[in-house]
Structure 1
Amino acid sequence: MKTLRNILDEKGAEVFSVAPNDTVFDAIKAMADHDIGALVVLDREILVGIVTERHYARRVFLKGKSSPKTQVKDIMTTPVVCADPSQSTDQGLALLTEKKIRHLPVISENQVIGIVSIGDLVKSKISDQKFVIDQLERYISG
């Protein structure tokens, strides 16, 4: 069974972040620049929140707020639901489903070492199932 560390090793573990006092505009621009849907919010390298495109849509745009004037700390989610790199993909999916979230920071020794999304985990599960099906087909036909 794959772990979250395996997922990060495959996809890359680069972590993009913003500070609590950054503007929502800067956060949305960073997400667009990196083609991602979430950023961790770090205050002096300490995880203090997470901000997503959904936060922007629901807490800024739909409320008529100005993204250049609104700070990340005003819309971020805190505390952040996190996972350990040794957790399985099934455990990660269960956590995302239970908490109704789409992005899961992975923490090791109090440092964010990556973020896995629901898409990353579903892709991994599909790949694992395809491998098992291929092996069974070879066994049956062999």
Structure 2
Amino acid sequence: MRISDILRSKGSAVVTIRPEESVRTLLAELAEHNLGALVVSTDGYTVDGIVSERDVVRALHADPGLHDAPVSRIMTGDVRTCSFDDSIDDLMVLMTDQRVRHVPVLAGNGVLAGIVSIGDVVKGRIGELEFEMEQLEGYISNSG
């Protein structure tokens, strides 16, 4: 299964936030869209960073008055990305090794084309396993 398969079922919409927006605005966007992370982008097409709930919690723990600071102050700038053609297995390795839960998907031209969460990957992998099980059950019942 490929990343393109995941995006085909979940959609490719990505909620972004500009780096100069406040942490307060970030919190509102995360809550409004029920998301665990937002891609930070100046134009909605390029990836300048990513900011997750974990980033927010750690930053607010260190500085409780951070609500009006810009998102750029707490975002992760070194973003791990993937492409449509990457496999779920490769993405699982990346997410595990890099300890990330959200990975932006870039099209061939480097433009933001989606985002995949660990939940999306697990759901896709479960779907693969269920399909394999059905195929095996069909094979067993037809060979007897």
TM range (shorter): over 0.9
Deviation at 1:66, TM superposition (A): 2.6
Contact 2:59/2:66, CA 8 A, preserved across alignment: no
Alignment of 1:29-68 (within 5 A): 29-44=28-43, 45-60=45-60, 62-68=61-67
SS state of the match for residue 38, structure 2? Answer: strand
SS state of the match for residue 82, structure 2? Answer: coil
Question: Residue type matched to 1:97 in 2?
Answer: T
Once the two structures are aligned, what percentage of the paired residues are identical? 36
SS state of the match for residue 57, structure 2? Answer: helix
Alignment of 1:1-142 (within 5 A): 2-44=1-43, 45-60=45-60, 62-108=61-107, 109-142=109-142
Deviation at 1:28, TM superposition (A): 1.4
Q: How many aligned residue pairs are there?
A: 140
Contact 2:84/2:106, CA 8 A, preserved across alignment: yes
Question: Residue type matched to 1:116 in 2?
Answer: V
- Write out per-residue CA displacement over residues 110-138 of structure 1, whole angstroms, 9 at most, x where no aligned residue: 21100000110011101100111111111
The TM-score with structure 1 as length reference comes to 0.94
The TM-score with structure 2 as length reference comes to 0.92
Aligned-pair RMSD on alpha carbons?
A: 1.1
Aligned mates of 2:57, 2:136 — CA distance in 1: 45
Aligned mates of 2:76, 2:116 — CA distance in 1: 17
Aligned mates of 1:48, 1:19 — CA distance in 2: 9
